[in-house]
């Protein structure tokens, strides 16, 4: 048996001296018998290596039975590749068939002329993800998350974890997923919002959480899921939304720099170049945005108008990243701090799409209760959240950034589902 603990990644074969023996393992993407020779294209996480069986190999016939996508381990000798100048390949010495793949494959995922449609690809996600470009997306996603953690730690934020089960919706009551809970009803969290705020009242001063949020929205768009990942950030003793914007723009630039630095080969594979925007990002007042868009000043700037606005900003300021600030209170949440009827609220638009919302929060108990009533909600449902404001609350604010959207719009993916391993939407709850 081939000793798997001695296995090296296929990509390392190129660094090994000609004539050495190595062990590799992975999926057989192609196998070809050509006269007295057989060729296997072996794929693992790090890339490919070509394996050649010559007449020195005594079990040539066995190679016939290796179907595409079977998993094998291989002992081979490094030699100069005839096909790739300067490259190396392996001459087969020993092969173990570890798992034979059934035929035909449920979907074609490589080299087929017609792209399998996304829905079918998601049905067979475990195969779809074998495509090196799909893997590259998730390697970049991991770089993004690791960059977020580094940035937050360097900026003195404490990582927190809050409950995903709660009695009240943070972002408006209509879109809750309710579930039975020992004779009571609870809901899945719509965001980490109320709990990250409570932590500010507990004196953590700076905290962040990366967690899932759930919204029962019947939207079939390229950028909405029913389960999505959010980076939630909250900080105390702020003067206003400028503090929140400064933090966010530095975070985005930090993430993009890290992706550029650590994700070179993945970006190349995806054919994507990253532009790191200049600081500071333009800050566009909501009413000015409406003027630029030539719409009434209290128009809801949704997906289409956002895109249009991004085009205008791009031509004016030569950037893909900007903040939309000071929202009319029709478009703010009950927890936002207001100046008259303008919310201290801010969206970050990147690559023509909203990737985050945030702002300063109302920390005065009486005003908070009034705002809950004004939004047509019942103060009683929010007592767990409002009562703490009676006992000492610092001025605070923060933002929630969609991780899946970040991945999608950094990589220009056509659909948010491409950047999520097992996406959940109105029609999909599996695999």
Q: Select 132 or 398, whichever has its Cβ closest to Mg ion.
A: 398
Of 127, 147, 313, 355, which lies in the binding site for ligand 4AD, with binding defined by CB under 6 A? 355
Residue nearest to Mg ion (CB): 357
Partners of residue 38 on adjacent β-strands:
33, 53
Q: Select 132 or 402, whichever has its Cβ closest to ligand 4AD.
A: 402
Q: Select 30 or 219, whichever has its Cβ closest to ligand 4AD.
A: 219
For 82, other C-beta atoms within 10 Å of its C-beta total 10
Residues that bind Mg ion (CB under 5 A): 357
Question: Could you tell me the smallest distance in angstroms from the CB atom of residue 354 to ligand 4AD?
Answer: 5
Of 63, 399, 417, 419, which lies in the binding site for ligand 4AD, with binding defined by CB under 6 A? 399
Question: Could you tell me the smallest distance in angstroms from the CB atom of residue 216 to Mg ion?
Answer: 17
Question: Could you tell me the smallest distance in angstroms from the CB atom of residue 170 to Mg ion?
Answer: 12
Burial class (CB in 10 A: 0-12, 13-18, 19+), 131: middle
Question: Could you tell me the smallest distance in angstroms from the CB atom of residue 202 to Mg ion?
Answer: 26
Task: Output the CA torsion sign for 286, 290, 295, 297.
Answer: positive
Could you tell which of Mg ion, ligand 4AD, none binds residue 171, using a CB distance below 5 to 8 A set by kind?
Answer: ligand 4AD
**Pairing mode, strands 88-99 and 47-53:** parallel
Backbone angles phi, psi at 136, to 5 degrees: -60, -40
For 5, other C-beta atoms within 10 Å of its C-beta total 5
Task: State yes or no: residue 290 binds ligand 4AD (CB under 6 A).
Answer: no
Residues 325-354 that bind ligand 4AD (CB under 6 A): 354
CA distance 406 to 241: 21
Q: Select 171 or 425, whichever has its Cβ closest to Mg ion.
A: 171
Containing 75, the helix (H) or strand (E) segment is: strand 71-80
| Binding piece for ligand 4AD, criterion CB under 6 A, among 22-30, 40-48, 54-62, 392-400 | 392-400
Residues 207-266 that bind ligand 4AD (CB under 6 A): 215, 217, 224-225, 228, 230
CA distance 381 to 371: 13
CA distance 218 to 43: 40
Contact 89, 79 (CB under 8 A): yes
Q: Select 213 or 357, whichever has its Cβ closest to Mg ion.
A: 357
Question: Could you tell me the smallest distance in angstroms from the CB atom of residue 26 to ligand 4AD?
Answer: 34
Could you check whether the bond before residue 289 is cis, i.e. omega within 30 degrees of 0? no
Task: State yes or no: residue 398 binds ligand 4AD (CB under 6 A).
Answer: yes
What would the DSSP string read from start to end of 261-295? HH-HHHHHHHT----PPPSSPPEEEHHHHHHHHTS
Could you tell which of ligand 4AD, Mg ion, none binds residue 121, using a CB distance below 5 to 8 A set by kind?
Answer: none
Question: Could you tell me the smallest distance in angstroms from the CB atom of residue 33 to ligand 4AD?
Answer: 48
Q: Select 183 or 302, whichever has its Cβ closest to Mg ion.
A: 302
Task: State yes or no: residue 395 binds ligand 4AD (CB under 6 A).
Answer: no
| Binding piece for ligand 4AD, criterion CB under 6 A, among 38-46, 78-86, 245-253, 356-364 | 356-364
Of 76, 402, 419, 423, which lies in the binding site for ligand 4AD, with binding defined by CB under 6 A? 402
- Kindly list the strands in the beta sheet with 184-188, ordered across the sheet, starting from the edge strand earlier in the chain: 165-166, 184-188, 178-181
Query: Exposure string (b/e) for 400-430, b if CB count within 10 Å is 16 or more?
Result: bbbbbbbbbbbbebeebbbbbeebbbeeeee
* Residues forming the site for ligand 4AD (CB under 6 A): 171, 191, 193, 215, 217, 224-225, 228, 230, 354-359, 398-402, 404-405
């Amino acid at each position: 048996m081939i000793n798997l603990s001695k296995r090296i990644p296929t990509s390392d074969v190129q660094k090994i001296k000609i004539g050495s023996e190595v062990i590799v393992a992975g999926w057989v993407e192609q196998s070809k018998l050509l006269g007295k020779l057989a060729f296997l294209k072996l794929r693992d996480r790090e890339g490919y290596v070509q394996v050649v069986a010559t007449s020195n190999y005594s079990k040539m016939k066995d190679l016939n039975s290796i179907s595409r996508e079977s998993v094998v381990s291989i002992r081979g000798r490094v030699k100069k590749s005839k096909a790739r100048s300067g490259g190396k390949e392996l001459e087969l010495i020993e092969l173990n068939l570890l798992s034979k793949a059934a035929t035909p494959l449920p979907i074609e995922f490589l080299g087929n002329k017609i792209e399998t449609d996304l829905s079918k690809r998601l049905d067979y996600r475990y195969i779809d993800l074998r495509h090196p470009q799909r893997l590259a997306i998730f390697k970049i996603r991991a770089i993004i998350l690791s960059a977020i953690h580094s940035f937050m730690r360097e900026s003195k934020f404490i990582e927190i974890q809050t409950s995903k089960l709660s009695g009240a919706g943070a972002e408006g009551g209509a879109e809750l997923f309710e579930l039975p809970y020992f004779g009571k009803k609870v809901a899945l969290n719509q965001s980490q919002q109320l709990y990250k705020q409570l932590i500010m009242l507990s004196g953590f001063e700076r905290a962040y959480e990366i967690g899932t949020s759930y919204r029962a929205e019947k939207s079939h768009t390229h950028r909405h899921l029913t389960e999505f990942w959010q980076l939630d950030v909250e900080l105390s003793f702020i003067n206003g939304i400028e503090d929140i914007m400064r933090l966010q723009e530095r975070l985005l630039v930090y993430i993009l720099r890290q992706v550029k630095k650590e994700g070179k080969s993945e970006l190349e594979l995806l054919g994507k170049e990253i532009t790191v925007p200049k600081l500071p990002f333009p800050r566009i007042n909501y009413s000015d945005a409406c003027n630029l868009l030539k719409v009434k000043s209290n128009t809801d700037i949704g997906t289409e108008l956002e895109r249009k606005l991004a085009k205008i900003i791009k031509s004016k300021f030569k950037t893909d990243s900007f903040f939309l600030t000071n929202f009319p209170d029709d478009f703010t949440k009950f927890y936002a701090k207001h100046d008259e009827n303008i919310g201290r609220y801010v969206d970050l638009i990147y690559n023509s799409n909203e990737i985050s919302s945030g702002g300063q929060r109302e920390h005065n108990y009486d005003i908070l209760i009034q705002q809950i009533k004004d939004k047509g909600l019942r103060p009683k449902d929010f007592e767990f959240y409002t009562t703490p404001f009676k006992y000492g609350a610092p001025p605070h604010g923060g933002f929630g950034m969609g991780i899946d959207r970040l991945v999608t719009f950094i990589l220009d993916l056509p659909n948010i589902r491409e950047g999520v391993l097992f996406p959940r939407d109105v029609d999909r709850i599996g695999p």
